[in-house]
Amino acid sequence: MKILAVNAGSSSLKFQLLEMPDEMVITSGIVERIGYDNAEFTIKVNDKKVTEKLEIKNHKVAVHLVVEGLIKHKIIKSLDEIKGVGHRVVQGGELFKDSAIITDEVVEKIKSLNDLAPLHNPANITGIQAFREALPDVIQVAVFDTTFHQTMNELAYLYAAPYEWYKKYGVRKYGFHGTSHQYVSERAAELLDNPNAKIIVCHLGNGASLCAVDGGKSVDTSMGLTPLEGIPMGTRSGNVDPAVLMLIAAKENKTYAEVLDDLNKKSGYLGVSGISNDSRDIIDNMNKGDYRSMLAHKIQIKRIADYIGSYYVYMGGLDAIVFTAGIGENSPEIRKGILEAISVLGVTVDEEQNSKRGERMVSTSDSRVKAFIIPTNEEVMIAREVIRLENL
C-alpha cells in the first residue's frame, strides 16, 4: 500500500512516498519557493535527484506537480496506487489528542488554532486543501506535532501565569517535534528491550527540543506555547527573561513583534556567534579559536545539560539518552560535549562509536545510562498513523 507523507510550509512542500507496511521509501522530494517565478521542484528518480525550475504560483500548482511528477517519472502508473495521504500539522492544541482523519470539520478546528501557530498551521491547511482537491477519494490524515505531548500533566504544561490566560486563550506548553520524539523513543525502548524505560530524546537540528519519555509517554518537553521556548537553536534564543522584550523595544525603538522576530530569527547560534546558524560553522570557527563561536557551542550544551538534569529528577531516574535529527545524528562534538557535561549521571562516551554515524550506542558498555544515536523518521510515523486510522 502506497502512502504519501506531506509536510507543507509557507513556501515549500516536502513529500515522501512510502510502501507500507514495509516502510520502504519509494521516492521523496520537495517543492521550494512556492509563489515565486524561480521556484524549484525536486524529485528522486532511481536514486538521482531531478530538478525543474519554473514558476509555481501556489500550493495547488505545487501539489499537481507532485502527483503528476510521480506518474511522469514512472514512479507510479496511476494515482489509484496512492491509498492515503498523511499531513504534518504543527499545532493541534487541546482539540486533538490523537491524529485525525481529515474532514471539513477537522479543517475548521485546525483553523481555529491558527493563533497558536500563525506561521505554520495556515501553511499546513493550504497543503491539506490542495491535496484534498487533487486526491478527493483518498483518505487524508492530520498528524500533529503536539499530540505526543498531550500525555503531560498540569505540573509540566501549565505556566505560573494568570490561570485565566490558560482557560481563555489556551496559553500553556504544547511542545513540538512530537512525531520524531515518539518514533525515536519507541525505537530506543526496543533497543533497551524495556517498554517501561525512562528516556530523554534530544532532537537537535536548526530547531531543537528535548523530551522526557517515561514508559512510552511524553511527561515533559522543552518547547512551549511556541517553538521559541527551550534550548538555544540555530536562530532561536530559547528561554529568556520576558522583560527583555520591553527593554530592547525601548532601547532599539522596536515593536514587541520586531523584538520577538529577533529572538526567533537572529538569536541562538547566529546571535551569539555573529557568524552562522549552522553548527558545523560554529564548530569550525570554535576550533580556529573564535571566542563567540565557542560561547555559542558551550551555552547550548549547558542549557541541554540543565534540561537533562531536570528530567532525570522529574522521572526519578534515567535509562537512556538518545540523539537524533541533523545535529544530533551527525555532530560527534556536540554529543560528546553533552555527555561529558552530564557524566555525573553515570554515562561515559565511547569515543570510537561516537565518531561514527547511523544507529548505534555511543556510551561505553559499563555506563549506567546508555546513550544512542537513532536517526529519526517522521515520515514513517505519519504513514503509520494513516494506516492505523484507516484500519479503525
Point out the annotated binding site.
7, 14, 88, 203-207, 278-280, 326-330, 378
- Classify each residue of 94-132 as buried b or exposed e, where b means 16 or more C-beta atoms within 10 Å of its C-beta: eebeebbebeeebbebbeebeebbeebbebbbbbbbbbb
Q: How far is CA 128 from CA 65, 107, 341, in A?
A: 15, 8, 43
Amino acid 195 reads P
Instruction: Cell numbers for 174, please give them.
Output: 504544547
**Greatest C-alpha distance within the chain:** 61
* Phi then psi dihedrals of residue 260, to 5 deg: -60, -40
User: What is d(CA 275, CA 144) in angstroms, rounded to the nearest whole number?
Assistant: 34
305: which 3 cell numbers?
545539560
Residues flagged as binding site for substrate: 88
| C-alpha distances out from residue 374 to 28, 117, 158, 201, 315, Å | 21, 28, 30, 10, 22
State the angle between helix axes of 121-134 and 104-111 in degrees (0 to 180), rounded to the nearest 10. Answer: 160
* Sequence-ordered alpha helix ranges (H) in 237-377: 243-252, 256-265, 268-273, 279-287, 291-315, 325-330, 332-341, 351-354
Which residues make up each annotated binding site for Mg(2+)? Answer: 7, 378
Cα first-last separation, the chain: 16
Instruction: Name the phi and psi angles at 309, rounded to 5.
Output: -60, -40
What are the C-alpha distances in Å from 219 to residues 213, 293, 314, 345, 371? 6, 33, 9, 20, 20
Active-site option among 37, 104, 145, 319: 145
145 is catalytic: yes
**What residues are annotated to the active site?**
145
